[in-house]
């Protein structure tokens, strides 16, 4: 039972150490606990250990967990971090707090139209295909300004920043490169139009295997799954998962 809490504590230690190395304040990086493939009971345990932000990849799995944890709903922030088809936006707009994986204007438009007036605007990150892999979701960096401008104009969305899932790399310097590129993209966007983009505050990058590299390059939210819950027991569709991640 103590394992999830211990692993969470260890992730906060990793974040603190990386922040210290980077000369950043520890509270400038938040932990998003990625609970995909793990049951609601595991989320409950992480909540008991003090965590409040949870990431899910698959819409239906996320909705099931949100329903099972309805008693905690007001305390939790639910983040969709996996691909979202534009015909599945409605339940996401109604149930989630964040979507990190927006890479089409049509999806964003539907999320905005379908976001209930009774809820605050849905927080949005635009997903960038930062390593240029053919198999990966996300827009090309060159397409960012146009999409960002269009999404920023949608009334029921709040554009927060950028997200990426870089190609896995074992070497630390190689891990830093795509994170540095994503941070640069956000900085350039903010500089391009400070009134429109100056408030963007989120760099969603860094997973179990590359948390330190991401924090060194400016991550504000790291998405950690297997280092907290252990290896996922059924196949995951995300091609970047490193099987060498320590649990």
Ligand X SMILES: *Cc1c(COP(=O)(O)O)cnc(C)c1O
Binding site for ligand X (CB under 6 A): 34, 36, 57, 81-82, 165, 207-209, 223-227, 238, 241, 245
Question: CB within 8 A of 146, min separation 6: which ones?
Answer: none
149 within 8 A of 126, measured Cβ to Cβ: no
How far apart CA 179 and CA 206 sit, in angstroms, is 8
Q: Is the dihedral of CA 177, 241, 220, 12 positive or negative?
A: negative
Whose Cβ is closer to ligand X: residue 36's or residue 110's? 36
By beta-carbon proximity to ligand X, the closer residue of 32 and 159 is 32
Rounded to an integer, what distance in angstroms lies between the CA atom of residue 238 and that of residue 180? 22
Provide, rounded to whole angstroms, the least separation between the CB of residue 231 and ligand X: 9
- Residues whose CB falls within 8 Å of the CB of residue 158, separated by 6 or more in sequence, listed in order: 120, 121, 122, 123, 124
Nearest-approach distance from CB 232 to ligand X, in angstroms: 7
Nearest distance from residue 219's CB to ligand X, in Å? 12
How many CA within 13 A on the CB side of residue 236?
20
> What is the nearest approach in angstroms of ligand X to the Cβ of residue 119?
23
Nearer to ligand X, 34 or 99 (CB): 34
**Residue number with CB closer to ligand X (32 or 151):** 32
Q: Say how many residues make up the chain.
A: 247
Cβ 166 to ligand X shortest distance, Å: 11
Q: Is the CB of 164 or the CB of 197 nearer to ligand X? A: 164
Cβ neighbour number for residue 104 with a 10 Å cutoff: 17
**CB-closest chain residue to ligand X:** 225
């Amino acid at each position: 039972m103590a394992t999830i809490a211990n692993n969470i504590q260890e992730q906060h230690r990793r974040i603190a150490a990386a922040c210290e190395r980077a000369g950043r304040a520890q509270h400038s990086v938040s932990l998003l606990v990625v609970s995909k493939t793990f049951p609601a009971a595991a989320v409950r345990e992480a909540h008991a250990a003090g965590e409040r932000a949870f990431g899910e990849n698959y819409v239906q799995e996320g909705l099931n967990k949100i329903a099972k944890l309805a008693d905690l709903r007001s305390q939790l922030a639910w983040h969709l971090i996996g691909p979202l088809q534009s015909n599945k936006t409605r339940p996401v707009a109604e149930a989630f707090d964040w979507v990190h994986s927006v890479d089409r204007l049509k999806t964003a438009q539907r999320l905005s139209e379908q976001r209930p007036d009774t809820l605050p605007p849905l927080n949005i990150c635009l997903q960038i295909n930062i390593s240029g892999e053919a198999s990966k979701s996300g827009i090309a960096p060159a397409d960012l300004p146009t999409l960002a401008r269009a999404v920023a104009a949608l009334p029921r969305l709040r554009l927060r920043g950028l997200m990426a899932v870089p190609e896995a790399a074992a070497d630390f310097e190689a891990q830093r490169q795509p994170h540095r590129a994503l941070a640069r993209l956000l900085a350039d966007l903010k500089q391009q139009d400070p009134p429109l983009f100056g408030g963007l505050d989120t760099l969603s990058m860094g997973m179990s295997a590359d948390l330190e590299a991401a924090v060194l390059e400016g991550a504000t939210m790291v998405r950690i799954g297997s280092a907290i819950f252990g290896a996922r027991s059924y196949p995951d569709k995300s091609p970047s998962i490193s099987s060498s991640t320590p649990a």
